[in-house]
Amino acid sequence: MASTYDIMKRIQKYDGVNLFLVLDKNGKKLNPELEDDEKKNVQNVFGNNYENIPNLVNKAVSCCRDINPINELTFLQISYSGYEFLIAPDDDQCVFAAYQIEQPKPTKRY
């Protein structure tokens, strides 16, 4: 069985993954800093303020339960400002990954 750190490194090696974090329920980072050249682009969207991510997840969980009280939110996918954010919430923590959406190349018109 692979260790958690190995899994985190494997996820971050995928093309386009700019940022991978494990956050506690207060938005504090739990994973060690992983080297990434392009995470500054994602930080332009969030800054270093990740405390709002658990609030967003809590609201999404609440909406999901309002629709059907039996359902639980297991995955949240958000597209914003050229990035796609993937969030997997749990009771005490959430896994957050961000990657840049590939922009279609403009075609030349004659």
- Residue 9's CB is within 10 A of a number of other CB atoms, namely 13
78 has a pLDDT exceeding 70: yes
One-letter amino acid of 20: F
Q: Residue 19 falls within a domain, yes or no?
A: yes
The enclosing domain of 28 has a CATH number of 3.30.450.30
Q: Residue 106 falls within a domain, yes or no?
A: no
Domain that holds residue 60: 4-100
22 has a pLDDT exceeding 80: yes
80 has a pLDDT exceeding 60: yes
49 has a pLDDT exceeding 60: yes
Q: Is the pTM of this model over 0.75?
A: no
pLDDT band at 110 (very low <50, low <70, confident <90, very high): low
Q: What is the pLDDT of residue 41?
A: 55
Residue 78: CB partners within 8 Å, gap ≥ 6? 84, 85, 87
Domain tally for the chain? 1
Q: Residue 108 falls within a domain, yes or no?
A: no
d(CA 73, CA 85): 15
Q: Residue 37 falls within a domain, yes or no?
A: yes
Q: Residue 110 falls within a domain, yes or no?
A: no
The mean pLDDT value of the chain amounts to: 77
Q: What is the pLDDT of residue 8?
A: 76
Q: Residue 107 falls within a domain, yes or no?
A: no
